[in-house]
Chain A
Amino acid sequence: DSGVTQTPKHLITATGQRVTLRCSPRSGDLSVYWYQQSLDQGLQFLIQYYNGEERAKGNILERFSAQQFPDLHSELNLSSLELGDSALYFCASSDNRNSPDGYTFGSGTRLTVV
Chain B
Amino acid sequence: AQTVTQSQPEMSVQEAETVTLSCTYDTSESDYYLFWYKQPPSRQMILVIRQEAYKQQNATENRFSVNFQKAAKSFSLKISDSQLGDAAMYFCAYRSVYNSKLTFGKGITLSVRP
Task: List the A side residues contacting B99 at CB < 8 Å.
Answer: 55-56
CA distance A95 to B35 in the complex (A): 17
For residue B11, CB closer than 8 A to chain A, the reply is: no
Could you say which of A33, A48, A58, A102 has the most chain B C-beta atoms within 10 Å of its C-beta?
A102
Contact A100 B50, beta carbon cutoff 8 Å:
yes
- Determine if B78 is an interface residue (Cβ-Cβ < 8 Å): no
Chain B CB within 8 A of A42 CB: yes
Q: How many residues of A contact B (CB 8 A)?
A: 24
Which residues of chain B are within 8 angstroms of A88 by Cβ–Cβ distance? Answer: 43
- Once the chains bind, are B101 and A102 in contact (CB under 8 Å)? no
Q: How large is the interface on B (under 10, 10 to 19, 20 to 34, 35 or more residues)?
A: 20 to 34
Are B44 and A33 in touch, CB under 8 angstroms? no
Check if B37 is an interface residue, CB within 8 A of chain A: yes
Q: Which A residues fall within an 8 A CB radius of B?
A: 2, 31, 33, 42-43, 45, 48, 55-56, 58, 88, 90, 92, 94, 96, 98, 100-103, 105, 107-108, 110
Given contacts A98-B97, A102-B50, 14 further A-B contacts (CB under 8 A): A2-B44, A33-B100, A33-B101, A42-B91, A48-B100, A48-B101, A55-B99, A90-B45, A92-B45, A92-B102, A98-B100, A102-B95, A105-B44, A105-B46
